[in-house]
Amino acid sequence: MSTSFEADRVDQLAQAYWAEHRTFEVKEDASNKAKFYCLSMLPYPSGKLHMGHVRNYVIGDVISRYQRMQGKNVLQPMGWDAFGLPAENAAIKHQASPATWTYENIAQMRAQLKRLGLGLDWSREIATCDDSYYRWEQWFFIQCMKKGLVYRKNSVVNWDPVDQTVLANEQVVDGRGWRSGALVEKKEIPQWFFKITAYAEELLSGLDGLPGWPEQVKTMQRNWIGKSEGLEIQFEVEGHDPLSIYTTRADTLMGVTYLAVSPDHPLAKHVAKKHAALADFLEHCRKTSTMESDLATAEKLGMDLGIFAIHPLSQKKLPIWVANFVLMEYGSGAVMSVPGHDERDHEFAKKYDLPILEVVRAKEGEAHDVQVQAYTAYGWICHSGPEFDGLSSEAAKLKMADFLKSRAHKKTHYRLRDWGVSRQRYWGTPIPVVYCDDCGAVPEREENLPVKLPQVENLGAGNPLKTLQSFIDAPCPTCGKPAKRETDTFDTFVESSWYYARYCSFDQTQSMLDERADYWLSVDQYIGGIEHAVMHLLYARFFHKLMRDFGLVQSSEPFINLLTQGMVLKDGTKMSKSKGNVVDPGALIDRFGADTVRLFSMFAAPPEQSLEWSDAGVEGAARFIRKLWTYLQNCPREKLDPLPSKARGELHQLLMKINQDMNRYQFNTVVSGAMKILNLLSEVPETERALHQEGGKILLCVLSPVIPHLTHVLWQELGFPGLVLDASWPCVDERALVLEEVTLAIQVNGKLRGTLTLKANLSEEALKQAVLNEATLQKHWEGKSIRKWVIVQNRLVNIVVG
């Protein structure tokens, strides 16, 4: 056995063993082993592994290996979120095909991941750009189409008028196209939508059944779904159809001074036909961003339509304005404006000199100058007539609903919109639809799937599918006449919404999933960044419910527990190429070996918190590993039985803490606990061979998830049976635990009468008995009755007698 630690040799020995014995390939086990499905979010194959990846995957790997040592059948797969814009942009830049670029990157990143020694079942690897994967996505879309869960409607996209192409949001830089520099316009084109709103209520209520998710993520999802209860109120319009307006603040109805409609509202468009200035204004709005976040900060602009609505209670005439901040996609595209009690309405009213009324006060009788600033909180109603004045906002809402009778009805509203999945890009899953002049939009026949994405070598500005006749021309799946294929591809969030399920049935060619999915799902532990708190995690939950309703899975939620790991920072900022503070994991592994990189990643911070990169910290991790190696070289090989001792008690105290921390995934303190054990054992005389053996074995076991290479090699070299990763997790020997002793002051009626040294943390009963049994103290209460015990734990006992 070599005596100095050689990281390369150790990494290679362990990794070669795992590869040769397919140690991490798992089967569905019908025996009494519990399953554990541990999954880290799949990476985008950029070609370069960064420290954020390392941290994410090592956390997943530590959990997987720990669960395996708990006797579970553990699945930990890996794959590639391989479609998407960066590949397309890179291909344009390098004049290569996106497929070539992507598969080369996958090969590089796979090799980088393998050097980390992750316990992955590589036999299940998925690349989402592979047609054996996306054919089932196309099949699934067709099932949704048949059930009316997808539909096509016009929607606004970013249009580059120079390149004549649709741009993704990230290709719009300061309002201009990233390649052409042209001012980006809005354009309406037909796009496909998943009806996620049909599941809004279940997506919301399901969050209550996920105690293993961070509260922050659940709050973000609740806000995104944005459920509110309100009234839909009919406003009559002079000379036009009435407007239906949704509000959650019916208590402010008497404070409405104008209505506002979206620039896309039919009423605005109708008036604009005979109103050139209004037509220009609508055109201006069309060209500017409709992103909700932009609208919140953009200047509020509007025009008076010159028509009037009738207030449903006061019968007063209310002017109708068009306003750039009202979105057609939200509610009915029309809002009632209450400038006294809404900041946005207030800003608009001030700008265009519209009246502002006060109808809610913080306290009865206490006025607030709403001409200066809107009062937006709930309070007490005023200036709303004798029926409402003096009521609380809550009571006024209810009374308003009764009062309006048929002119209003209760409505539940969700902020969540249907999910638009059409992308006018090449590098994605083709949407399996054919357009026929006679039959309309028809799904491709299932036996013709996959609709393969054709290889294109030289990408230009636009989507090459649009001009690729061999792709576009297709017979109508219904009538057989010549028809045209859809040239849009799916949003890549579609691929990442169900990959976790496909890992279970990775090689199934006859169906999307099979019974193996029922064995493995739901995912027991999911790990990824907080930046996916809303879209990815919401879409995956939605797909899971769809799959359940199609009979493909049995559970209702995809991920039982979620861990959102913190970022890796350097000098307090996120590592990035532009800041020049990127640390290359490959170079670190070259220098120190995989175990040091893994140990530092786990030791420097708890998983959910940011990790500050430190070269000194990495050096420290390397030193610990060398010290551990050297110590374990001398671990006795013969079988020995440990004897009780103070040091053995301390060893098990430390193990108890490690086990608690491991169980709550606080790996940083697990590592520091192991460091303490090593320090403890280093002080123990060499003659206590049994303790060294027991301690060495405990160290190998508890560190095995974090530094699997060193522990694998030494476990075998020291002659322990089997593999360390299949060893049972070490248990605390309760009998070995040192019971600390404490000296208590014993008082009688507040006077110190003596001291007593006892075991710490005795129960109240045991403590009283021990005091009463103490012969030297008994004279102080003999012949008297004990009225009261005052006990300060581990410090003082005062007996009140009389």
**Which residues make up the interface to Zn ion (CB under 5 A)?**
436, 438-439, 476, 478-479
By beta-carbon proximity to Zn ion, the closer residue of 434 and 604 is 434
What does each C-alpha distance from 744 to 489, 750, 762, 768, 788 come to in angstroms?
Answer: 76, 14, 12, 12, 17
Minimal distance, residue 483 CB to Zn ion, in Å: 6
Q: How far apart are CA 310 and CA 318, in angstroms?
A: 6
Q: Which is nearer to Zn ion, 354 or 474 (CB)?
A: 474
- The secondary element (H helix, E strand) that includes residue 563 is strand 559-564
Strands 422-423 and 433-436, by their bridges, are unpaired
The nearer residue to Zn ion, 279 or 439, going by C-beta atoms, is 439
Tell me the closest approach of the beta carbon of residue 94 to Zn ion, in angstroms: 41
Which of 441/770 has CB closer to Zn ion? 441
Between 340 and 477, CB nearer to Zn ion = 477
Closer to Zn ion by CB, 190 or 385: give it.
Answer: 190
Least gap, CB of 433 to Zn ion (angstroms): 12
* Least Å from the CB of residue 478 to Zn ion: 5
Q: What is the dihedral of CA 644, 650, 654, 660, to 10 degrees?
A: 70
The least distance separating Zn ion from the CB of residue 481, rounded to whole angstroms, comes to 5
Q: d(Cα 81, Cα 499) in Å, to the nearest integer?
A: 9
- C-beta of 109: minimal distance to Zn ion in Å? 44
Q: Confirm if 434 and 444 have CB atoms less than 8 A apart.
A: yes
Is 410 exposed, middle or buried, given 0-12, 13-18 or 19+ CB atoms closer than 10 A? Answer: exposed
Closest CA to 196 of 514, 416, 30: 416
Query: Least distance in Å: CB of 449 to Zn ion?
Result: 18
Q: With respect to Zn ion, which residue has the nearer C-beta, 143 or 478?
A: 478
Shortest separation between residue 130's beta carbon and Zn ion, angstroms? 31
Within 164-316, strands assigned E span 165-167, 172-173, 176-177, 185-194, 227-237, 240-247, 258-261, 302-310
In angstroms, what CA-CA distances link 430 with 91, 134, 231? 19, 9, 42
Neighbours of 440 (CB within 10 A): 13
The SS3 of residue 800 is strand
Q: At closest approach, how far in Å is the CB of 415 from Zn ion?
A: 39
Nearer to Zn ion, 181 or 440 (CB): 440
Closer residue to Zn ion in complex, CB, 441/647? 441
- Position of tokens 């105290």? 653
CB 531 within 8 A of CB 574: no
Angle between helix 708-717 and helix 689-703 axes, rounded to 10 deg:
140
Neighbours of 223 (CB within 10 A): 11
Q: Which of 267, 264, 266 is nearest to 327 (CA)?
A: 264
Residue 476 CB, shortest distance to Zn ion, in Å, is: 3
Three-class secondary structure of residue 579 per DSSP: coil
Q: 3-class SS at 769? A: helix
* Between 220 and 441, CB nearer to Zn ion: 441
Cβ closest to Zn ion, residue 295 vs residue 439: 439
Q: How far is the CB of 442 from Zn ion (least distance, A)?
A: 6
Q: Are 207 and 221 in contact (CB under 8 A)?
A: yes
DSSP one-letter code for 121: -
Comparing CB distances to Zn ion, the nearer of 119 and 477 is 477
- DSSP character string of 490-534: E-TTTGGGTHHHHGGGTT-SSSS--HHHHHHPSEEEEEE-GGGTT
Minimum separation from the CB atom of position 460 to Zn ion (A)? 32
Residue 175 Cα to chain centre, angstroms: 29
- In the bound state with Zn ion, the residue whose beta carbon lies nearer, of 310 and 439, is 439
Number of Cβ within 10 Å of residue 685's Cβ equals 9
Cα 510 to Cα 132, 134, 135, 447, 663, distances in angstroms: 11, 13, 11, 11, 40
CA gap 250, 401 in Å, rounded? 8
Smallest distance, Zn ion to C-beta of residue 439, A: 3
Left if phi > 0, otherwise alpha if psi is -120 to 50, otherwise beta: which for 331?
Answer: left
Q: Supply the minimum distance, in Å, between the C-beta of residue 466 and Zn ion.
A: 21
Specify the residue, 301 or 439, whose C-beta has the smaller distance to Zn ion. Answer: 439
